[in-house]
Structure 1
Amino acid sequence: MKTYMVCYDLLSNETIKDYQRIIDAIKSIGQAEEIQRSVWLLRSEKHAIEIRNILQNYLDSNDKLFIGGLDENAYFNLSSEINNKMFPAPEWNKS
């Protein structure tokens, strides 16, 4: 599994329902945690292009979407629970 950062900006006259649709879509792809408004960490077996192809179905033509793979992280005031879920220790490093 790989961890991605998913960021979106809904620029049209979006409603709460539109936001909920993209949130539900993100959650359907893998293990997801919102870390800031419209910024998610997502663990999934899928590749970034596959994730983009799924999520763009929930966006209007002027909305924006970024999906980036994360292989290193640093944070401030992000819960250790989220960090452990999204960036678990390798099997060889678990005691």
Structure 2
Amino acid sequence: MPRNQFQRMIFALLTVIITVHGYVFYSLYVVNGKLLMEITGADSVLGAIRAQGGVYMFGRMLPIWAVVIVEFCFAYALECLVGSPMSLLMCDKEVIEV
């Protein structure tokens, strides 16, 4: 477990880098990939995303890199503000109960 604020921020950064990429690509390729290819008639998921002009977010189509950046910013903020403090509280509570 991280022992100070700097370590918590680095831990949050590493966690978010892994999870955001995993989530975005899982949702696009695994969950919606076949449907996107059927709708656009493309041979690949990336081709289907290009054919439709990006990924729908905030009422418009955005490129994949923009979706990753937006998701990264939201996830990092939530991890720093909610995730890390709550995990420390839960860890302390478990240590006290044991």
Answer whether TM exceeds 0.5 for this pair. no
The higher-RCO structure (CA 8 Å, 6+ apart) is 1
Q: If you compute each CA radius of gyration, which structure gives the higher value, 1 or 2? A: 2
Q: Whose helix fraction is larger, Structure 1's or Structure 2's?
A: 2
Normalised by the size of structure 2, how large is the TM-score?
Answer: 0.25
Q: Whose strand fraction is larger, Structure 1's or Structure 2's?
A: 1
